[in-house]
Structure 1
């Protein structure tokens, strides 16, 4: 019994020691890499990758890899051959995910078609050509609620148009009239708007381009995604 107890205790101590060594190693890699990359690169974490001797490095919301000596910074995908899974892509998707509950519908334009059961959110700039293309495509969706968050990031005129859209008598109609029909917004632009809140949200979650789409599971589609891909994603979610 004493021998068994000693063996179990030794194995437990060994496992704890190995874990401590790994933690120290990861911390050292992070420290060394941070010095080499400079203060502009904000390293969030360093952790073992599925490949022995290779570590996953999170810089902001980007995934990189490095060796145990921090000599190389590797940019690329790790694909598990047995399953065909792109592990880097999965990690990147998780990093870009948000909590749907953190979106405030009061700060968005709202369009409801059909029963409105399926939901998505779009961050849009009124001077964004790809946003206009996306808005035209979204007209094909039924039984959907679309929340549009205006973030004027392209030009000073984007801010002016966003304010005019939000301050109009029917902001959603004014938005669609401009984005799809080319009818420029006019009228006052001095009402209280949520634009600053939307910009702050975009900055917090790394939304640097428009359009950016979010779904109720928190996943995002950057750019003017194909309507078939959007429909497929919506169909996969339990609304």
Structure 2
């Protein structure tokens, strides 16, 4: 009988603690949403640190106090498990932001049933971007689809931006992009296009150089990576 009573008391206490936590989260969400117009309730979650709440605005992740007065922009690291929790959350947010753009806004090389898909922020006039594009057949052979998003490093407006728009607006986008990356002229065209949005997304992700490869995990690898090495990374055969 005494054991039963203890179970009832513990269950009641756990219920109270759970409700208290839910109420605190609700209050924190409201305070943070009042501070930022573009934050929704589902973007705010409790963090492993008491009093701090994780806020995700893909692709950004940061932490705020429950009254939305203080913000912490940095990494939360679990020393016991040797995990950078913020990197994990940020990678998830990066993936969500990229998928939110929609594959229809990208120029894709490779079959739909490829084993891996890598999203590449590219600049038509970047030397290593051109080297990467010369290797597209090699990536496809290794089972890797390449999805291009535009990142004209010179900004908007610029010659690189105009070329990216022209490639997107061409009747055959893949052919136009290939010609442009070979240094060949393509007809200058204008139409409704995603180039500016993709450039802004890259900036919000912290991309400054090209090519920038975004893996399926959300991890970003800067620079050119040869096909076989990229395949080894994707297949977990190398840590780098």
- Report the TM range for the smaller structure's normalisation: 0.5 to 0.7
Equivalent-residue separation in structure 1 for 2:90 and 2:6 (angstroms): 42
Match 1:76 to one of 60, 74, 77: 74
Equivalent-residue separation in structure 1 for 2:192 and 2:25 (angstroms): 42
Partner deviation per Cα, 1:84-104 (whole Å, 9 max, x = no partner) = 221111121122224998786
Match in the other structure for 1:146? 146
Task: Provide the secondary structure at the position in 2 that maps to 1:219.
Answer: coil
Match 2:164 to one of 140, 162, 165: 162
Match in the other structure for 1:55? 52
Deviation of the 1:45 alpha carbon? 0.5
The 5-angstrom pairing of residues 168-187 of structure 1 reads 168=170, 171-179=173-181, 181-185=182-186, 187=187
Equivalent-residue separation in structure 2 for 1:14 and 1:139 (angstroms): 64
Task: Provide the secondary structure at the position in 2 that maps to 1:96.
Answer: helix
State whether residues 177 and 184 of structure 1, in contact with CA within 8 Å, keep that contact through their aligned partners in structure 2: yes
Say if 2:91 is the partner of 1:97: no
CA shift in 2, pair 1:77/1:106, >3 Å: closer
State whether residues 108 and 148 of structure 2, in contact with CA within 8 Å, keep that contact through their aligned partners in structure 1: yes
Gaps of 5+ in 2: none
Gaps of 5+ in 1: none
Equivalent-residue separation in structure 1 for 2:99 and 2:15 (angstroms): 39
State whether residues 151 and 195 of structure 1, in contact with CA within 8 Å, keep that contact through their aligned partners in structure 2: no
TM-score normalised over the length of structure 1: 0.65
Partner deviation per Cα, 1:33-92 (whole Å, 9 max, x = no partner) = 555xx345736214132x3x3423215133333456655322221222233221111121
Deviation of the 1:22 alpha carbon? 1.2
Equivalent-residue separation in structure 2 for 1:167 and 1:33 (angstroms): 41
Q: State the Cα RMSD in Å.
A: 4.2
Say if 2:20 is the partner of 1:18: no
The 5-angstrom pairing of residues 191-206 of structure 1 reads 195-196=193-194, 202=198, 206=201
State whether residues 66 and 74 of structure 1, in contact with CA within 8 Å, keep that contact through their aligned partners in structure 2: yes
- Point out the more displaced range, 227-236 or 5-14: 227-236
